[in-house]
Amino acid sequence: MRDDVLTGAQEAALISHIDGSDLSPFRFQQWEGKRLTYSYGWNYDFEHVRFAPAEPMPDWLLDVRARAAAFAGLSADDLVQALLIRYDPGAGIGWHKDRPVFEHVVGISLGSKAVLRLRRRTAAGFDRAKVTLAPRSIYHLSGEVRHAWEHSIAPMDVPRWSITFRSLSDKGRAA
Ligand SMILES: O=C(O)CCC(=O)C(=O)O
Ligand SMILES: [Fe+2]
């Protein structure tokens, strides 16, 4: 993780771009999440279990993608997906591992801080950890924390925005 990878002005511009995007509620089976999302590059459709190319990333994302790649030691071209999320008050994200079609996960937090909770199943229960995601900070999930641990964010009473860049895994490339 690293704090302060964006200025306040850059953060405000990214938030207004996300708010100006055609966000829609995350849907899975009968369940409609309170978090609003939009994907560029590739779309993993949970409702129809379909992984398909999506609209290319717009210019306003390219600078922040380059920073995310540099931070994670990747090349910008590797980060082929960008997921925009707006969490309105009451929205969170439940326990999950990111889909196996993706490999590296690099996330940028905007607007307000959140606690990223982490857990890994053990014989006795769960190992747990948590980390504070400050606004304007970045994190990289790879290796064990990406593949062996789940993560979640509890619903909050203030809005938060995030941009998650992902590379494809071998499985994603094969698909
Ligand atoms: O909002 C975040 O920073 C986390 C998002 C996340 O875990 C995901 O989209 O898979
Ligand atoms: Fe995730």
| pLDDT over 70 (residue 29) | no
Is the CB of 137 inside a 6 Å radius of any atom of ligand 1? no
As a whole number, the mean pLDDT across the chain is 94
Nearest ligand atom owner, CA of 33: 1
pTM: 0.95
pLDDT in tens, 45-88: 777 678 889 999 999 999 999 999 999 999 999 999 999 999 99
Query: What are the structure tokens assigned to 159, written together?
Result: 């809005």
Query: What are the structure tokens assigned to 131, written together?
Result: 């980390």
Beta bridge partners of 98: none
Is the CB of 107 inside a 6 Å radius of any atom of ligand 1? yes
Contact 159, 112 (CB under 8 A): yes
Note the ipTM here: 0.98
| pLDDT over 80 (residue 120) | yes
Contact 68, 79 (CB under 8 A): yes
Please give the angle made by the CA atoms of 134, 112 and 144, to the nearest 5 degrees: 45
Is the CB of 164 inside a 6 Å radius of any atom of ligand 1? yes
pLDDT in tens, 10-20: 999 999 999 99
| pLDDT over 80 (residue 26) | no
Q: In which band, very low, low, confident or very high, does the pLDDT at 146 lie, cut at 50, 70 and 90?
A: very high
| pLDDT over 80 (residue 32) | no
Phi and psi at residue 12, in whole multiples of 5°? Answer: -60, -40
Q: Tell me the C-alpha distance between 170 and 15, whole Å.
A: 32
| pLDDT over 90 (residue 28) | no
Domains of the chain, earliest start first: 8-164 (2.60.120.590)
Q: What is the DSSP string of 132-153?
A: EE-TT-EEEE-HHHHHT-EEEE
Q: Tell me the C-alpha distance between 27 and 47, whole Å.
A: 6
Q: What is the pLDDT of residue 45?
A: 78
Closest CA to 112 of 93, 94, 86: 86
pLDDT in tens, 121-132: 999 999 999 999
Closest CA to 132 of 145, 143, 118: 118
Q: Which atom of ligand 1 is nearest to the CA of 108?
A: 3
> How many whole angstroms from 124 Cα to the centroid of ligand 1?
27
> How many whole angstroms from 79 Cα to the centroid of ligand 1?
15
Q: Is 162 exposed, middle or buried (0-12, 13-18, 19+ CB in 10 A)?
A: buried
Give percent above pLDDT 70 in the chain: 95
For 133-140, what is the mean pLDDT?
98
